[in-house]
Every structure is written in C-alpha cells, then in structure tokens.
Amino acid sequence: MKSKFIKAHLEVARVYGQLSSANRLKVGCIIVKDDRIISIGYNGMPSGASNICEQDGKTKPEVLHAEANAILKLAKSPESSEGSTMFTTYAPCFDCAKLIMQSGIYDLHYEYSYKNQDGINLLKSYYTNRIYKHGDELDRFADEQMHLPFSY
C-alpha cells in the first residue's frame, strides 16, 4: 500500500476516534479491504448503555475498545475481514490482539504505543513483518499540513 494511502487511512482512524465519548483516551480504528473502508470503530460503551465511559476518573470495564468495536461491526455485515488491513490510532491491547488474529486481519498499522505492550508483542510474535508503527512519520506528515479536510 502506498504511503499516502496509509497516512490517509490513519488520519481517518483519528477522525473516528474523536467521535468517542471517552474523556481519558479517544481511540479510532478502521478496517480496509480492496482499497475500501469496510468497518469503523471507536472506544465507547456497548449499544444501549449510557455514553459515560469513566467513573471516579477510571475507564469503566465495560467500555469496548475501538478495534473490538470495528471487528464486531464487521461481523454483523456481509463483508469478510479475511486478508484486510486494520488502521488504529493506538497499538491494540492483548484482548484486541487476539481478536485481530482470530478475525483474519492481515496487516496492522498503528500510530501510538499503548501503555501495555502485551498486545503488540503477541502480534509481533506471530506476524513479524505485518505490524507497522507510524507515529513519528505521521507527526512530520501533520506538520506539513497535508491532512484530510476534516475539522475536529
């Protein structure tokens, strides 16, 4: 995939992350296949629950992560995740890494490290050449003001 498309997809994941009602950390994710976005996700409460993600300054345990949300939405669609690529603003946690592996997602591009590296370490142990971190590259990209025309 060309660098300009990787940058654009990561920018779109960032935009979706801003839709999260979480106060502590807003995470966005998209899943792409055949140059099309086939699913999106951001961290938040399960459907039907209140949109309050934190209690007493801590994230509630029932908050769904962006990656899980995108995979679950895709599971309800006619699309298949087999051979797709995930773009997420933060490296996945351990539980999301297992979902990524099981869902057949082929490549993972992420922008920032997560506080716990267990998820990314799990993925790297199985998919050595298919995990890509872009944080520094994207910071330069943003500095050049070549981002998509979204305001958030």
Q: Which residues are catalytic?
A: 67
Residues 6+ apart with CB under 8 A from 111: 10, 13, 14, 88, 89, 90, 133, 134, 135, 138
CA distances from 50 to 11, 24, 87 (A): 27, 16, 27
What is the C-alpha separation between 55 and 59, in angstroms, rounded? 6
- What is the SS3 string spanning 90-136? ECCCHHHHHHHHHHCCCEEEEEECCCCCHHHHHHHHHCCCCEEECHH
Q: How many CB atoms lie within 10 A of CB 98?
A: 14
Tokens representing 34? 């055949």
